[in-house]
Amino acid sequence: MNRYELALVLNAKIEDDARTAAVDRAKEYITRAGGTVTEVEEWGKKRLAYEIQKMNEGYYYFIQFEAPSETPAAVERDVRIMDNVLRYLCVRKDEA
């Protein structure tokens, strides 16, 4: 099992319950693909480095999980089509 981190930038104009639902859906995608979520960090609303879809702010979430090597591709495939996700990135965390 490898350790990974999924970074999500969500639309800042949606309600709190819709944001929570989007994060829960991303966690569901991880568990369905064979991973286990270990931690979820919410960084809150931050200013974006550049405008994305005519928005200057977004909510940042970082989801750490452990999974086999095939899981990140499956998770990215599912997250790519989520409505309120502006940007995402899934990276492997080094053992340190």
Three-point CA angle 1, 79, 87, nearest 5°: 105
Instruction: Please tell me whether the overall predicted TM-score, pTM, comes out greater than 0.85 for this model.
Output: yes
Domain containing 33 equals 2-92
Domain count, the chain: 1
pLDDT, tens digit (0-9, with 9 covering 90-100), for 4-16: 999 999 999 999 9
Q: For residue range 34-90, what is the model confidence (pLDDT) as tens digits?
A: 999 999 999 999 999 999 999 999 999 999 999 999 999 999 999 999 999 999 999
CA triple 85-86-91, angle to 5 deg: 80
Question: What CATH number should be reported for the domain holding residue 27?
Answer: 3.30.70.60
